[in-house]
Amino acid sequence: MRRSTSWDKFYGEAANTAAFPILNKIMSFGNEHTFDNIRSLFAENKIWLSRRSDFNDPFDIAPIIEADLRLSQYRERQIHIDKIDPKTIPDDDFFRIMQLKQLPKKSNGKLIKTTIDRSVRSSINHLLDATGVYCLSGTWNSQLLWSHYGNGHTGICIRFRLTKSARNFIVEPVRYVTSRARISASSFWTGHALHPFEPQWNEHFRPMFFDKYADWKYECEYRIVRPDSARTHFQLSGLEPFEIIFGCRTAENDILQTISILQKCNSQFEVYQLMASSDTYDFDRHMLHIKY
């Protein structure tokens, strides 16, 4: 029987949550899954983790993979892989290791190089695709965010605070950069092909999920990242919703349906609706009084 992966060692103790601002999730009601995600959040404290291909930026989490693996490195590592007992491999790694075991042992150097470059590239992309991401912002009152993610100010913002029990996921601010991230195929093959979520993962993979092109700086983005969790509802520990804000053009039916979900889940949050200020470019917040 294969052992399961222990995430406790990987995540360790939570970061100092006082260093993080209130985090905000602005969403559109135009997505057919929005109400399901709201219900899952309030009823089960679960968030929907996206895959990188779900993002609106094709450069996001798309590092340049450098094909720098030497044949000597490949052969040395392959000897080690061949000695691995499949029964000792964690479920998360099983199919990847079985694939690596089937790579060619003897052939001309060019064929091996082509095959291994393709396989390593596939393994790296698999790890990136399998990692779940939840995007938030450090601000709730950005007109650009409400226009874009809030679908022309017709959406909803759910506000969260982190607590000291936030330990089963990674959360960091996005770094806005002008150069794309790079990952070395040889580094991956020699150090991370077997156990990508050990401490080496932090050094080589973690930055890729928190780097974004500088043009997106206005988003003030923070990200929650969890390996092997893409496109799943993930139950959080330590990220607590406490407030809801509707956009200044949110439809009454969407507001009433959201409030109905809150009442059924007995989720007693402060609820507001935004109004465009009459004399500035700011928003005015008006509290909605909900009977629970």
CB neighbours of 195 closer than 8 A, spacing ≥ 6?
Answer: 93
Spell out the alpha helix ranges (H) of the chain.
Answer: 7-11, 34-44, 71-82, 91-101, 109-130, 143-148, 185-187, 199-204, 252-265
Mapped onto helix, strand or coil, the DSSP state of residue 214 is helix
CB neighbours of 80 closer than 8 A, spacing ≥ 6?
Answer: none
Range of the domain at 207: 7-288
Q: Is the pLDDT of residue 186 over 80?
A: no
1 belongs to a structural domain: no
Mean pLDDT taken over the chain? 82
Mapped onto helix, strand or coil, the DSSP state of residue 146 is helix
Q: How far, CA to CA in Å, does 73 sit from each of 80, 189, 240, 291?
A: 11, 8, 46, 66
The pTM assigned to this predicted structure is 0.81
Q: Which residues pair with 184 in a beta bridge?
A: 66
Burial class (CB in 10 A: 0-12, 13-18, 19+), 13: exposed
Which of 8, 91, 14, 49 has the alpha carbon at shortest distance from 209? 49
Give the residue-averaged pLDDT of 178-187.
85
Give the torsion sign (CA, 2, 74, 117, 183). positive
Per-residue pLDDT tens digits for 65-105: 887 777 676 666 667 667 767 666 666 566 666 555 555 55
Q: Rounded to an integer, what distance in angstroms lies between the CA atom of residue 102 and that of residue 82?
A: 9
Residue 155: predicted pLDDT: 98
If you count DSSP H runs as helices and E runs as strands, how many of each does the chain have, helices first? Answer: 9, 14
148 belongs to a structural domain: yes
Per-residue pLDDT tens digits for 228-247: 889 999 988 888 999 999 99
**Number of domains observed in the structure of the chain:** 1
pLDDT band, very low/low/confident/very high, at 163 (cuts 50, 70, 90): confident
